[in-house]
Chain A
Amino acid sequence: MLDRHDEQGHDNAPPAISFRDVVKIYGAGAAAFTALHGADLDIRDNEFFTLLGPSGSGKTTLLRLLAGFEVLTSGTIHLFGAEIRDLPPERRPVNTVFQHYALFPHLSVAENVAFGLKRLRRPAAEIRSRVAEMLALVHMEHLADRQPGQLSGGQQQRVALARALAPEPKVLLLDEPLSALDLKLRQAMREELQRLQRETGITFVFVTHDQDEALSMSDRIAVLSEGRIQQIGTPDDLYNRPYNRFVADFIGDTNLLEARVLRRSGDEVNLRLSGGVEVTAAAAPGIGEGAQVTVSVRPENVVLTGAEAGSVRARLVGKTFLGASSLLTLALDDASRVTVRRDNRMGHPEDPETGAEVGIVFAPGSLRVLLP
């Protein structure tokens, strides 16, 4: 539905996974709940792809449909060109790392890792060597004979990874795998996951509600909200070129300003902000002259100037010190608020006092018109 035009240019290989018009409705009648309203999505081979969204956005449903744990209400899912909607999970070449790992408590670490290989009836010698290889890959070879209950959260996480990677799936699904870990471990595991993805060359589909996780690890991200895909793109796309109000607001901090379109020229439009200032912003096609729109600008792209030098006049009403930077809250003439991020580099000019009259300018190209 969106940004498909810029996707097509990247490569011509068929997508590893493609969702078409995927609808999932739980329950029936009055209690029916629509978890996905017709999602379209292509995931490329060998990609670290993230489904990002708040809880209830449909990201986990999408993953579970791909794994085969849920049945599609309508639509299709193709895996390397083959339709898989009617295949049970055990016949799909995908494996899952579960949110709380779902390790089999009655089996040892090695038996857990060997589980899928045994069901696939691989020869015993192959299973042994593959299990050893996987445990080495996640640095767990010394704990092969432990029971899952004897492991720490981080160790269980590694076993779950080894177990899911052992059968050499074409796609690895990760359902918020880091959410149960503490902060430090979570950061270490991010790098570990990126390493594993590079080393194995497997397509990773990663589900998270944590934007930092998504931005730091992914090749591309799909942002979901209320059962709809809001935007698909690289981390840079999502941060710097948010498509609509939800994406701009959900990822990072942003200022949202009301404006009216004056003129359109190519990909850009001239706008008049509600305070009366005229600016230029990037805009998607379909935003015509006269439209009332919302414009997004990141706090770091708002530059503080002297009261007379800026293109907009404002008054400083609040300051928050964050260490490396500070956030300054400004009130514009029309009472709307703008947040400015300022570096706290040594030798940087001091922040003005609260109540001071200041001016601001927007960094060139930093304003973006959002779709509602």
Chain B
Amino acid sequence: MIFETVAKILGEYKDVDPATITRDATFASLGLDSLDTVEIVMSLEDAFGIEIDMEQSLQNVEDLVKLIEAKKA
């Protein structure tokens, strides 16, 4: 469920079909730079009602999903 929401938010941000976004897709491969990542993290915070500290470097979609799972646990 978390992955689906992340994919939906990424899809909206990049204006692409969420179905094309895979767990192992890197931000670089999605054409997202560090400033985009900050925007996406803020959207995800709103969507999940959590605060995400960007403590560790986020490389791919799976990193984000794991981070949110840990926060929600």
Judge: A and B partners, yes or no: no
Q: Which residues of B contact A (CB under 8 A)?
A: none
